[in-house]
Amino acid sequence: MSVGAYFDTHTHLTDPRFDADRVEVLARAAVVGVGRLVEIADSPEDWPRVLAFARAWPESVRCALGLHPYYAERCTDEFLAGLEREIGLPEVVAVGEIGLDYARGPVAPDIQKAALRSLLAACRRWDKPVVIHCREAYADLWAIVQEIFHFPPPGRRFWGVVHCFSGTPDDAESLAVAGWAIGADGPVTYPKNARLREVFRRVGPGVVVLETDSPYLPPQSSRGKRNEPQAVPEIAAALAEVWAMSVSDVARVTSENAGELFRLPEI
Ligand SMILES: [Zn+2]
Ligand SMILES: [Zn+2]
């Protein structure tokens, strides 16, 4: 993969909201130094699209195949067999997003938890990094990851990432010590979000990766608009202030973290 200063570890650029200008979006990202990204699939219907997108941009795009907790009831043995068939493809760097969402998720928590257990056990068998989505479910997430990943990752720093982190500083610290990277995105730039900045101050730059979650979660300068990967430097600037580091050091450290997370050695 080509090496840009920044790595956007979580995008949904195959969303129809980018149909009219996807190439321009990638070009705008490249101009500000966002040279690599991981495109995330929420359900099997997305998988062909994200794979095609990664194949179209082999220098800069990889993908992750997942089952968002909104679709947790679809996590059958047949689903897992289908995922296993795709997971070894060279474009696929992770399983995700998967997880727990008690805020808006239409699926009962017990069904979400059962699906997450099966998916995490599969990731461990397949030795594949994990992209976790978690909203208002950090206690249950912690219990389940401790069941399945109860020892440090062998020979590497991360089992996966808890993307769009929204838990407490204590949640973040526990997860970071247990081998989970912490994803930072637009909300860290919001003036009122001191608690989230405290999360990142507490865990420090060594476990943090940058992400936009485009088209969702725009940073402060574009709130209410469609988000895109060119927003990554604004997130980095907010973290530079939190850590009293230069923005270029934030770019370097978080991109190294992302390269290690997704096992892309070309740093
Ligand atoms: Zn998510
Ligand atoms: Zn997402």
| Joined tokens for residue 227 | 């988000």
| Joined tokens for residue 93 | 């760097």
Radius of gyration of the chain (CA): 17
- CA 153 to centroid of ligand 1, rounded, Å: 23
Picking from 73, 57, 133, the residue whose alpha carbon sits closest to that of residue 108 is 73
Ligand nearest to the CA of 101: 1
- CA 150 to centroid of ligand 1, rounded, Å: 24
Tell me, what's the pLDDT at 104?
84
- CA 65 to centroid of ligand 2, rounded, Å: 11
| φ and ψ at residue 39, rounded to 5 degrees | -90, 130
Residue 71 lies in a domain: yes
Neighbours of 135 (CB within 10 A): 17
Q: Tell me the mean pLDDT per 10 residues along the chain, length 267.
A: 78 98 97 97 97 97 97 97 97 98 92 98 97 98 96 92 98 97 98 97 98 97 97 98 97 97 81
Ligand nearest to the CA of 214: 2
- CA 9 to centroid of ligand 1, rounded, Å: 12
Tell me, what's the pLDDT at 106?
86
Residue 119 lies in a domain: yes
* Helix H or strand E segment including 121: helix 109-126
Residue 266 lies in a domain: no
Ligand nearest to the CA of 40: 2
Ligand nearest to the CA of 13: 2
Ligand nearest to the CA of 215: 2
Residue 267 lies in a domain: no
- CA 107 to centroid of ligand 1, rounded, Å: 15
| Joined tokens for residue 232 | 């990554």
- CA 244 to centroid of ligand 1, rounded, Å: 28
In angstroms, the CA 139 to CA 244 distance is: 31
- CA 216 to centroid of ligand 1, rounded, Å: 9
Task: Determine what percent of the chain falls in helix, strand and coil, rounding each to the nearest 5.
Answer: 50, 20, 35
Neighbour-count burial for 11-32, b at 16+ CB within 10 Å, e otherwise:
bbbbbebbeeebeebbeebeeb
The domain total for the chain is 1
Ligand nearest to the CA of 8: 2
Residue 1 lies in a domain: no
First and final C-alpha spacing in the chain: 9
Residue 80 lies in a domain: yes
Neighbours of 76 (CB within 10 A): 11
Ligand nearest to the CA of 135: 1
In angstroms, the CA 160 to CA 156 distance is: 11
The CATH number of the domain where 123 resides is what?
3.20.20.140
Residue 175 lies in a domain: yes
* Helix H or strand E segment including 7: strand 6-11
- CA 97 to centroid of ligand 1, rounded, Å: 6
- CA 59 to centroid of ligand 1, rounded, Å: 25
pTM tops 0.85: yes
From the centroid of its chain, how far is CA 102? 18
Range of the domain at 185: 6-261
Ligand nearest to the CA of 165: 1
- CA 12 to centroid of ligand 2, rounded, Å: 6
Ligand nearest to the CA of 213: 2
Ligand nearest to the CA of 163: 1
Q: Is the peptide bond before 97 cis (omega within 30 degrees of 0)?
A: yes
| Joined tokens for residue 261 | 């997370």
Tell me, what's the pLDDT at 4?
64
